[in-house]
Amino acid sequence: MERAASRPVITNLPNLLTFARIAAVPALVACFFLSDAHSARWLAFAIFTAAGITDFFDGYLARAWQQQSSLGAMLDPIADKLLVGATLMVLVSDQTISGWSLLAAIIILVREILVSGLREFLAELSVSVPVTQLAKIKTTVQMLALGFLIVGPAGYVVFPWTMTTGLTLLWVSAIITLYTGYDYLKASLDHAMDQDSQ
């Protein structure tokens, strides 16, 4: 199904979904300040899940309806990193993530910031680093980990291993993150050295 891109870019549905994902970030964080911790975690999980769904549909609809835009290309990774970064911060703040698992959270956060900078550098050189299948798997595992951890202790009645599963997936995501981050770093260093040698 195709639709003509007749509406202004900023009000195209794919971009509106991206804006909604950005708006979901403060709403998710606010949930952790509610007095009823049990309900708050499930509400935060619902917001996080809805935001994750928009992440799939904004790109899918943009391609299907031929509504891809520079604005969407700029905002989509920003929205993703805001969601992941803010979620990690509140989970660390309330000690859902603590101890050695802090290292996994730091690896993920550092990689997100590093890759943003490397992408900007490569874009200036008109170099595109395609998203690999492993990177997509990393994103899926990362979102699953954060979902389990957001529910946290509130999910024990439904699934007693909520925290264990979340923390295990967080570490798996961190390990994959190191590998995929290396691809971006290597590509950037190779192109940087090529530029310096010219």
pLDDT in tens, 56-110: 877 767 677 777 777 777 788 888 899 999 999 999 999 999 999 999 999 999 9
Domain map of the chain by residue range? Answer: 7-94, 98-198
Question: CA of 189: how far to CAs of 38, 107, 114, in Å?
Answer: 47, 20, 13
| Confidence grade of residue 129 (pLDDT, cut at 50, 70, 90) | low
* Residue 38 CB coordination number (10 Å): 14
Distance of CA 159 to the CA centre of its chain: 24
According to DSSP H, which parts of the chain are helical?
Answer: 13-31, 37-64, 70-93, 101-124, 133-151, 162-197
Residue 33 tokens, joined: 């300040």
Global confidence as pTM: 0.84
SS3 assignment, position 145: helix
- The three-state secondary structure class of 7 is coil
